[in-house]
């Protein structure tokens, strides 16, 4: 008996589209993504998985060699999507996991240029977001232990006959969407975040926003614990050096960084400062330390994060590609004219040097044009 491939309908055929009518929305981030290692912090391609476990929560992130792991710059797409959904919900509009928008709206909202190269880099980001596989126990239900998904279920670009991109669509995973429409799981962030060029400083801002908030005494972390939370492949000593350099430059909008010592333990204190652009809402915690131990600093068990060699232990690479990757010309291109009826709806290791490279799409060189 010959095997036959099961053909399933696109999710978009079952969902009402949420048409993004404007790019104006205060940037908002999803809390679960702000404090755990879901993304590569390097601009070089990463295929080594992330294995992180702390306080009974487990996060596993896997990449395919063709695209590499989704980066913290790619996560700007998710921040933009969350911002649009929250803004629409605040205005009383119906939203959905199926977003329809123009690339211009997305790129301008996150501070990028809108030339042909930028559109190409955006498609590279969408490919990584779709091919990256996440397994986590965060927000698991009473009878469900582990959730597995990709950051984007499917995406498509709509073009004119001459190849000009006029629109895009993608479907977000239910896990992410539920974490956005729950207001307690979303925090506003400073728009200046998009101007941060380094992966570690971007990640550090999200940690600061999540943990320190507006608390006068801020939040205190042990550097070794921060290294574990980041999922970075660099050595702890190199990570500590980068944190010191960031603290010397003070680039984080709304926060000041201060290196402290308790014996041989190197600590980072994150303190709220005057916001550089617009206010962000809400204090976030009632205590001043993270996973506080006897001396009042953040701490995690040594077994909390295990970084493995570049391999995929979840399943064979071909299985991941077949189930999660639809970023080819057949599935991600269409004729805009053919979709006109739809429009009737109302509106690996890194270092300081490698961290400055721009070898991955949807990225830019520090200090370069956006």
Residue 49 counted as domain residue: yes
- Whether residue 168 contacts residue 102, with contact meaning beta carbons closer than 8 Å, is answered with yes
Q: Are residues 183 and 224 in the same domain?
A: no
Residues 144, 38 share a domain: yes
Residues 155 and 61 in one domain: yes
Do 94 and 35 lie in a common domain? Answer: yes
The counts of H helices and E strands in the chain are 9, 14
- pLDDT in single tens digits along all 370 residues of the chain: 444 444 445 666 678 888 887 667 999 999 999 989 999 999 999 999 999 999 889 999 999 999 999 999 999 999 999 999 999 999 999 999 999 999 999 999 999 999 989 999 999 999 999 999 999 999 875 555 778 999 999 999 887 777 777 799 999 999 999 999 998 999 999 999 999 999 999 999 999 999 999 888 899 999 999 999 999 999 999 999 999 999 999 999 999 999 999 999 999 999 999 755 444 444 333 334 444 333 333 333 332 333 333 322 222 232 333 333 333 333 333 333 333 333 333 333 333 433 334 344 454 433 444 3
Same-domain pairing of 21 and 97: yes
| Residues 168 and 217 grouped into a single domain | no
Same domain, 41 and 133: yes
Beta bridge partners of 99: 18, 170
Identify whether 368 is part of a domain.
no
* Within-domain flag for 370: no
Among residues 218, 241, 275, which one ends one of the domains? 275
CA distance 246 to 259: 10
Task: Looking at the structure, tell me whether residues 144 and 243 fall in a common domain.
Answer: no
CB 212 within 8 A of CB 219: yes
- My answer on whether 243 and 172 are in the same domain is no
Instruction: Specify whether 246 is located in the same domain as 267.
Output: yes
Give the domain extent around 154. Answer: 11-189
Do 99 and 166 have their domain in common? yes
Q: Which residue has the tokens 């997305």?
A: 106
Radius of gyration of the chain (CA): 21
pTM given for the model:
0.73
Question: 189, 208, 228: which is the final residue of a domain?
Answer: 189
Chosen domain end from 251, 275, 299: 275
Strands annotated E in 104-254 = 133-136, 147-150, 154-159, 165-171, 186-188, 219-222
């Amino acid at each position: 008996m010959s095997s036959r491939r099961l053909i399933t309908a696109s999710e978009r055929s079952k969902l009402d589209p949420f048409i993004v009518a404007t790019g104006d929305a205060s940037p908002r981030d999803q809390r679960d993504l702000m404090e755990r290692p879901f993304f590569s912090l390097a601009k070089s391609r990463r295929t080594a998985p992330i294995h992180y476990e702390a306080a009974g929560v487990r996060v596993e992130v896997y990449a395919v060699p063709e695209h590499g792991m989704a980066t913290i710059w790619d996560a700007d797409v998710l921040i933009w999507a969350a911002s649009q959904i929250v803004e629409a919900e605040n205005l009383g509009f119906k939203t959905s996991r199926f977003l329809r928008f123009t690339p211009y709206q997305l790129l301008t909202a996150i501070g990028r240029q809108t030339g042909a190269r930028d559109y190409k880099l955006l498609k590279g980001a969408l490919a990584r977001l779709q091919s990256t596989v996440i397994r986590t126990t965060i927000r698991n239900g009473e009878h469900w232990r582990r959730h597995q998904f990709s950051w984007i279920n499917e995406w498509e670009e709509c073009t004119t006959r001459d190849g000009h991109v006029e629109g895009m669509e993608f479907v977000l995973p239910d896990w992410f969407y539920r974490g956005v429409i729950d207001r307690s799981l979303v925090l506003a962030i400073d728009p200046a975040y998009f101007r941060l060029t380094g992966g570690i400083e971007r990640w550090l801002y999200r940690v600061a926003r999540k943990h320190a908030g507006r608390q006068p005494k801020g939040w205190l972390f042990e550097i070794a614990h921060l290294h574990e939370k980041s999922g970075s492949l660099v050595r702890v000593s190199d990570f500590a050096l980068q944190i010191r350099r960031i603290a010397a430059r003070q680039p984080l909008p709304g926060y000041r960084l201060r290196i402290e010592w308790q014996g041989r333990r190197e600590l980072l204190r994150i303190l709220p400062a005057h916001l550089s652009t617009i206010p962000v809402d809400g204090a976030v915690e009632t205590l001043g330390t993270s996973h506080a131990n006897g001396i009042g600093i953040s701490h995690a068990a040594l077994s909390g994060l295990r970084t493995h060699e570049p391999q995929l232990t979840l399943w064979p690479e071909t299985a991941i590609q077949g189930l999660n990757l639809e970023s080819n010309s057949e599935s991600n291109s269409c004729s805009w004219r053919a979709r006109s009826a739809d429009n009737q709806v109302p509106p690996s290791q890194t270092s300081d040097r490698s961290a400055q490279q721009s070898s991955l799409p949807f990225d830019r060189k520090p200090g370069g044009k956006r």
